[in-house]
Amino acid sequence: MLRIPLFSRIVIIGLVVLGLAYAMPNLFYPRVESHNDAVRTIEVAGATPEAETARDGWPDWLPSTLVNLGLDLRGGASLLAEVQVGDVYADRMDGLWPEIRDSLRDLRDQIGGIRQVESAPDELRIRVQEPAGMAAALAAVRDIAQPVTSLTGAGSTDIEVRGEGDLLIVTLSEAERIATDDRTMQQSLEIVRRRVDEAGTREPSIQRQGGDRILIQVPGVGSAQEIKDLIGTTAQLTFNPVVGRTSDPDAQADAGDVVLPAADQEGVYYIIERAPVVGGEDLTDAQPSFDQNGRAAVSFRFNGPGARRFGDYTAENIGSPFAIVLDDEVISAPTIQDHIGSGSGIITGDFTVEESTNLAVLLRAGALPAEMVFLQERTIGPELGADSIEAGRIACIVAFIAVLAFMWASYGLFGLFANIALIINVGLIFGLLSVIGATLTLPGIAGIVLTIGMAVDANVLIFERIREELKTAKGPSRAIQLGYERALSAIIDANITTFLTAVILFVMGSGPVRGFAITLGLGILTSVFTAIWVTRLLVVIWFERRRPKTINV
């Protein structure tokens, strides 16, 4: 007999109501969106009359979940950046040099003099005067090595040291490289996020992709260039000892030194030590300010260790110049007048007020640990996005009406049941998309339209089966029951195979393709649910009331 226990009925109806409730806010998209924005603003910045009006535009007790619109629908820009993780190896090597130098100098009586020689940026080559003392030198450098602090690298040290003739070669270990890459990516992600957030755009999405890439998607910006301007500068600030000043860009610099141009004076170059005294990572604060002559400047403050190193260095080098270097340009090279023990100071240069404000923002957010190369960019104007939504909406409605009419003409009353299920089905897709926070893209809309066409499949399978069972004259109740039972295996097999392809699309695809995979996959789940349970419930309720002797499917 056709029976569905009361408990199952409540669960089915409950799920449908819940799904539709979460889908409902999407019908009032602009109002709910400004409500959600206002709630967030009030939380962060306190209440304003406008924010409160916007908030009260949508009642708090109603669900306020919305489908995220992808960039192709909302307009905005997306960038795929590759972080040059290798840059950091060179910085690490530069940072190691003073320490290694000091420890090898202590062995002067065994190994004689030492000198850094030119090498690839990710290794350190040191020529030792007395190769006989190499064993001692290797041991001394190995003492400097630190254990790697990562799960996979446990048990290994951060640097590897080997001797080749009179050369002592220091490289980063494999485990340390992996750990460093990971740290570089974490830092880059965090800094990109902070810089984009500082600009105040709404709901940017910043995700790591693969080993060394970052996907940045910012809705509402006019071009990818704007994002690049925001994050493209590394803002690497360092304070380095100055070796000399020259007008020759190709001036010969010793290993460990580097020639950098002055930012404000054409044709002036500084030879500076590559290893910085203090770096931007030791900054705790940076603010735009003015120097005593009223020119724009940036004031900064170091943390404890940074302040100590800066204090020690200035105490030892009174009278000699040091360079403030930003992204491989010397902003200024003042002479140290006095011991600076406070850990705070001021950077002057040829800044405009706007530049000093920007620089302060960049310094506050922190420097990018490595350069970023942009591999892919997409900009979509908001009008094109709005056009796409409009076209998609009309196509959806037309497809919907056509399919509804067609089902009704083919199956009569049962077709109407299937139609109710189809409407619920689309509602559930939107509800699920909203709840899991998925992003709707243009191909995603195509996925929904495709689902509208295919969702009736399960019902068609069932109805056709009921028709067949009716031919063998078992009575309507039995025919309906057998129809559902016997169509089930075809429904399950057919939908699992389609679902498999949706999963593969989701895993391997990216961006818009993934949006398509999500709606296709969700559409399969909801269409099986509505066909097997919702239409069945409708049919059973109808059957219980009418008790028809014959049915016409």
Partner 1 sequence: MRLKLVPDDTHFDFFRFSKLTLGASVLAMALSLAAFFAMGLNFGIDFLGGTTIRTESSQPVDVAVYRDAVSELGLGDISITEVFDPTFGPDENVAQLRIQAQEGVESIQQDTINAVEAALQEVDPSITFPQVESVGPEVSGELIQTAVLSVLAAIGAVLVYIWLRFEWQFALGAVAALVHDVTLTIGVFALLQIKFDLAIIAALLTIVGYSLNDTVVVFDRVRENLRKFKKRPLEEVLSVSINETMSRTAMTSLTTLIALIALFVLGGDVIRGFVFAMIWGILVGTYSSVFVASDILRMLGVKRDWSKKDGEAGTQFGGAEG
Site for partner 1 in 472-501 (CB under 8 A): 482, 485-486, 488-490, 492-498, 500-501
Binding residue for partner 1 (CB under 8 A) from 149, 186, 223, 320? 223
Q: How many residues bind partner 1 (CB under 8 A)?
A: 76
3-state secondary structure of 212: coil
Nearer to partner 1, 336 or 482 (CB): 482
The CA-CA-CA angle for residues 106, 256, 260, to 5°, reads 150
Q: Does 28 bind partner 1 (CB under 8 A)?
A: no
- Which secondary structure element, helix H or strand E, spans residue 372, and what is its range? strand 372-380
Nearer to partner 1, 132 or 373 (CB): 373
Minimum CB separation of residue 369 from partner 1 in Å reads: 19
Beta carbon nearer to partner 1, 314 or 419: 419
With CB under 8 A as the contact rule, the residue among 156, 317, 410, 477 that binds partner 1 is 410
Task: Determine which residue in the list 22, 239, 516, 533 makes contact with partner 1, applying CB under 8 A.
Answer: 516
Nearest to 275 by CA among 93, 51, 452: 93
Q: Where are the extended beta strands (E) located within 122-263?
A: 123-128, 159-164, 167-172, 205-209, 213-219, 237-246, 257-261
DSSP 197: H
**Binders in 33-92 for partner 1, by CB under 8 A:** 72, 80
Residue 287 region by backbone torsions, left for phi larger than 0, else alpha for psi between -120 and 50, else beta? beta
Q: Of 209 and 320, which has the nearer Cβ to partner 1?
A: 209
Taking contact as CB under 8 A, which single stretch among the options 146-154, 167-175, 219-227, 432-440 is the one that binds partner 1? 219-227
Could you tell me the smallest distance in angstroms from the CB atom of residue 467 to partner 1? 8
User: Segment 101-130, which members bind partner 1 (CB under 8 A)?
Assistant: none
Residue 406 interacts with partner 1 (CB under 8 A): yes or no: yes
Integer Cα distance of 99 and 141 in angstroms: 9
Instruction: Select 169 or 505, whichever has its Cβ closest to partner 1.
Output: 505
Burial 431-470 (b: 16+ CB within 10 A, else e): bbbbeeebbbbbbbbbbbbbbbebbbbbbbbbbebbbebb
Least distance from partner 1 to the Cβ atom of residue 489, Å: 4
Q: Measured from the CB atom, is 47 or 406 closer to partner 1?
A: 406
Distance CA 362, CA 359 (A): 5
Closer to partner 1 by CB, 80 or 438: give it.
80
> In angstroms, what is the minimal distance from the CB of 74 to partner 1?
13
Tell me the CA end-to-end span of the chain in Å, nearest whole number.
18
Q: Which of 234, 200, 230 is nearest to 84 (CA)?
A: 234
Beta bridge partners of 298: 288, 347
- Minimum CB separation of residue 447 from partner 1 in Å reads 8
Q: Closer CB to partner 1, residue 137 or residue 407?
A: 407
CB of 523 to partner 1, least distance (A): 11
Residue 13 within binding range of partner 1, rule CB under 8 A: no
Binding positions for partner 1, 413-452, rule CB under 8 A: 442-443, 445-446, 449-450, 452
Residues 290-349 that bind partner 1 (CB under 8 A): none
**Closest separation in Å from C-beta 365 to partner 1:** 22
CB of 326 to partner 1, least distance (A): 21
Q: Which of 238, 230, 280, 235 is nearest to 81 (CA)?
A: 230
Q: Are 412 and 397 in contact (CB under 8 A)?
A: no
Pairing of strands 283-290, 296-302: antiparallel
As a whole number of Å, the CA-based R_g of the chain is 34
